[in-house]
Amino acid sequence: MGNSFKSSRLYGFFCELRRPKVYRVAAGYGVVGWLIIQFAATVLPALTLPAWSTRLVIILVLAGFPIALILAWAFDLGSGGITRTPDPAPVAECPPALPGRRRNIFTLAVVGLLISAVIGYFVLARGSSRKMEKSIAVLPFANFSDDQANAYFADGIQDDVLTNLAKISALKVISRTSVLPYRGQTHNIREIGKALNVATVLEGSVRREGKRVRINVQLIDASNDRHLWAQVYDRELTDMFAVQSELAREIAGALRATLAPAEQERIDRKPTQNGDAYLLYQEAHEIFSRPDRHHDDLARVEGLYEKAITLDPNFALAQARLSHLESWMFYAIEPLPARAQKARAAAEEALRLQPDLPESHLAMGYVDYYVDRDYDSALGEFAVARGGLPNDPGIFRAMAAIQRRQGKWQESSASYAKAVSLDPKDPILLENMGMNYLATRDYATAARIFDRAVKAAPETFTIQELRARVDLYSKGDLRAMQSLLGSWPENIDPNGTITLSRYNLKMYERKFQELIEILQRSPAEKSRGETSAPISKEFLQATVYAAMKDEVRAQASYLEARVKAEKAVQESPEDGPRHALLGLIYAGLGRGEEAKAEAKRAVDLLPETKDAFDGPILVISRARIHMLSGDLDTAFALLDRSLQTPSGITIHELRLDPIWDPLRADSRFQQMLAKFGAQK
């Protein structure tokens, strides 16, 4: 029997496969193909590409398998290039080569197709039901209390339940931002499950009467509206932490999710023994989580966290959240030494109080990132935090932000995609993800993501403005920006962001006198652009007067702007953007050497090698400073590089913006427009 098989054509066929290393090719193709499928399944849905795009990738990978086998069998790749595999010489235990090479090709193709079909059946079948059985969305709890001021309390209970569930690695938990739009609505559970790609939905209500609280919850199968589990909890207010822990355990049990001992311990741990401190914390956390928060909101949040800590100095979670707030304000609003010290002190105290609290490590990671720009240390802290908060999209968002500053654009986009999978309706996440593609000039993808962000937060100006920028950067088309700003009232601009957008648009339109009047009416005394430097109204007016060739008014405005800019540099001498802004003012005043020194100081403090996202913006400022100082050679060299760098200037900005008028008479400017004119 054995000798009969060894003399058969089938045995000879498998012997032939060994000679050209077909088995190795099959194994290698399988590994690479699997990685491609995993990447597609993670990234393509987050890019808002249609569902069939992932299936197409899977089908193409599977279809290529038999082709790869045939090519590996028929050809050898060696030092001499690709050559046809010679007829096999006899080897040990293999019979002489049998005739019928074409038959073997046919057999190999059939075998490859059968393998692909079997794998495809299981992969695609699993993909079509990809909603994980152990996935859940926790909808906002209804507030049934007589006092509607307790609404934030109901929100806090929902957020705590969600946070506890998110600590369980066996579950996929949709983050809070994506479920907020369903507050106060009549719930269509099937539609919610489909929109959020979850198998189950938890809904509930809270009624608070004095010190008593009733929580009513029910877990629903999103595919058929069937109730899987329900429970009512009547407890004292002081027993809320125990209720939340019990609730998380029972939901995990209903979903057959196993809790690791460390996860069980984290869920059971009470964040504070002081109920009043916890109520203050809940209110602060709710405000800080809003996508449209303003500076006044942040000041209020800071006060609430500090009051909570005063009531309970051992409240590590409040210390961690306070540190995160201070780090963010240092980075985005006030890069002052005192702010950095507060951020670091709060993070260190949180770690001292609870070294194993994931939020403590997250807070220290933000200090490393926002304050110190120590990206490796920050990523290390985020990795620790991720171990305890496996479903927290904020950790993946922070990782993505660091990766793009390191110039790792693809890794950054993949991290944003993971965050979006956990919080698919978070406009801030979508906004940041879209900015990656805007910076790398992938305008089609940026447009799709910003469209999704606008749908998630239709009242948020910054997202709509970014969507309008796509048309400006890709086509030089101002109509979307004109439509947006035409619909936005001038007297609403708490951060100066809208005023700065009006400034840019009117400069592109060269409607200078109209712009001067807009600036005079604007309630914003300063604006913030793409960096942390406060841009004074006087500086904006100076640049408009300069474009109008009104040197007297331009110089007067530059002098007023200089006082504010020098003060800003004194307050934060290590902030590169503030030095760049001061350099622009010195250049406008004709102080060329001082201006170029400030420009160099700016890029030395924040070079592109240290920050591939904000660093290129300072290079644009440096080019402008050299232009205003009469050094056109350096200006052209810097602009040429910027046009080829992610986050650099775009050709349509260069073409439209009158600040570059001093270069237009130079033949190199037209050559630059021609060279990069097709930039998309």
Domain ranges, residue 102: 2-128
Residue 670's pLDDT is what? 94
Which of 435, 466, 497 represents a domain boundary (last residue)?
466
In a domain, 473, yes or no: no
pLDDT over threshold 60, residue 232: yes
**Confidence grade of residue 129 (pLDDT, cut at 50, 70, 90):** very low
Three-class SS string for 576-598?
HHHHHHHHHHHHHCCCHHHHHHH
The residue type found at 376 is D
* CA 320 from centre of chain: 21
| Helix (H) / strand (E) containing 528 | strand 526-528
In a domain, 475, yes or no: no
- In contact, 537 and 526? CB cutoff 8 Å: yes
DSSP per-residue codes, 51-107: HHHHHHHHHHHHHHHHHHHHHHHHEEEETTEEEEPPPPPP-TT-PPPPS-HHHHHHH
In a domain, 472, yes or no: no
**Confidence grade of residue 641 (pLDDT, cut at 50, 70, 90):** very high
* Buried-state track 502-526, b at ≥16 Cβ within 10 A, e below 16: bbbbbbbeeebeebbebbeebebeb
**Confidence grade of residue 532 (pLDDT, cut at 50, 70, 90):** confident
- In contact, 147 and 210? CB cutoff 8 Å: no
What does the angle CA 332 – CA 277 – CA 275 come to, to the nearest 5 degrees? 145
- In contact, 182 and 139? CB cutoff 8 Å: yes
| Helix (H) / strand (E) containing 526 | strand 526-528
Q: Which of 232-241, 288-297, 451-460, 527-536 has the lowest mean pLDDT?
A: 288-297
DSSP per-residue codes, 265-334: HHHH--S-S-HHHHHHHHHHHHHHT-TT--HHHHHHHHHHHHHHHHH-TT-HHHHHHHHHHHHHHHHHT-
- What is the tens place of the pLDDT at every residue in 404-458? 999 999 999 999 999 999 999 999 999 999 999 999 999 999 999 999 999 999 9
Same domain as 559, residue 423: no
* CA 230 from centre of chain: 35
Range 606-620 average pLDDT:
96
Same domain as 448, residue 318: yes
DSSP β-ladder status, 227-236 and 212-221: antiparallel
Same domain as 111, residue 37: yes
- What is the tens place of the pLDDT at every residue in 261-287? 888 888 888 899 898 898 899 889 888
Mean confidence (pLDDT) of the chain:
85
- In contact, 320 and 389? CB cutoff 8 Å: no
Bigger pLDDT: 16 or 575?
575
d(CA 104, CA 548): 80
- Tell me whether residue 258 is exposed, middle or buried, using C-beta atoms within 10 angstroms of its C-beta: 0 to 12, 13 to 18, 19 or more: exposed
Q: Hunting for tokens 């002190």 — which residue is that?
A: 345
Range 116-122 average pLDDT:
55
pLDDT over threshold 90, residue 302: yes
Residue 608's pLDDT is what? 96
d(CA 229, CA 638): 64
Q: How many domains does the chain have?
A: 4
d(CA 281, CA 327): 18
Residue 82's pLDDT is what? 45
Residue 254's pLDDT is what? 87
In 3-state terms, what secondary structure has residue 253?
helix
Residue 148's pLDDT is what? 64
- What is the tens place of the pLDDT at every residue in 57-115? 777 766 776 676 666 655 554 444 444 445 444 444 555 544 444 445 555 555 555 56
What does the angle CA 57 – CA 169 – CA 249 come to, to the nearest 5 degrees? 135
**Confidence grade of residue 34 (pLDDT, cut at 50, 70, 90):** low
d(CA 575, CA 374): 15
- Tell me whether residue 239 is exposed, middle or buried, using C-beta atoms within 10 angstroms of its C-beta: 0 to 12, 13 to 18, 19 or more: middle
pLDDT over threshold 90, residue 258: no
Domain with 156 in it: what CATH number?
3.40.50.10610
In a domain, 484, yes or no: no
Same domain as 527, residue 412: no
In a domain, 471, yes or no: no
Q: What are the strands, taking DSSP E only, across 200-289?
A: 200-209, 212-221, 227-236
- In contact, 622 and 631? CB cutoff 8 Å: no
**Confidence grade of residue 614 (pLDDT, cut at 50, 70, 90):** very high
* CA 185 from centre of chain: 28
Could you tell me the pTM of the whole model? 0.78
Residue 158's pLDDT is what? 87
Same domain as 179, residue 159: yes
pLDDT over threshold 60, residue 562: yes
d(CA 169, CA 263): 8
- Tell me whether residue 87 is exposed, middle or buried, using C-beta atoms within 10 angstroms of its C-beta: 0 to 12, 13 to 18, 19 or more: exposed
Residue 128's pLDDT is what? 42
Which of 418, 451, 466 represents a domain boundary (last residue)?
466
In a domain, 564, yes or no: yes
pLDDT over threshold 80, residue 365: yes
d(CA 628, CA 554): 14
Same domain as 307, residue 364: yes
Bigger pLDDT: 586 or 178?
586
Same domain as 671, residue 566: yes
In a domain, 335, yes or no: yes
Residue 212's pLDDT is what? 85
Same domain as 455, residue 313: yes
Residue 435's pLDDT is what? 98
Same domain as 508, residue 435: no
d(CA 658, CA 516): 15
Same domain as 50, residue 143: no
Same domain as 153, residue 178: yes
Domain with 300 in it: what CATH number?
1.25.40.10
- Residue 225, Ramachandran bin (φ over 0: left; ψ between -120 and 50: alpha; else beta): left
In a domain, 56, yes or no: yes
**Confidence grade of residue 644 (pLDDT, cut at 50, 70, 90):** very high
Residue 4's pLDDT is what? 52
Cα maximum dimension of the chain: 105
DSSP β-ladder status, 200-209 and 135-138: parallel
Bigger pLDDT: 149 or 232?
232
Question: What is the tally of helices (H) and strands (E) in the chain?
Answer: 33, 10
Same domain as 392, residue 338: yes
What does the angle CA 50 – CA 54 – CA 60 come to, to the nearest 5 degrees? 130
Which of 82, 103, 128 represents a domain boundary (last residue)?
128
pLDDT over threshold 60, residue 126: no
Q: Which residues is 227 bridged to in the sheet?
A: 220
The total number of residues written for the chain in this structure? 680
Residue 306's pLDDT is what? 98
pLDDT over threshold 90, residue 638: yes
Range 121-128 average pLDDT:
49
Residue 98's pLDDT is what? 44
- What is the tens place of the pLDDT at every residue in 477-495? 999 999 999 999 888 887 8
Bigger pLDDT: 287 or 629?
629
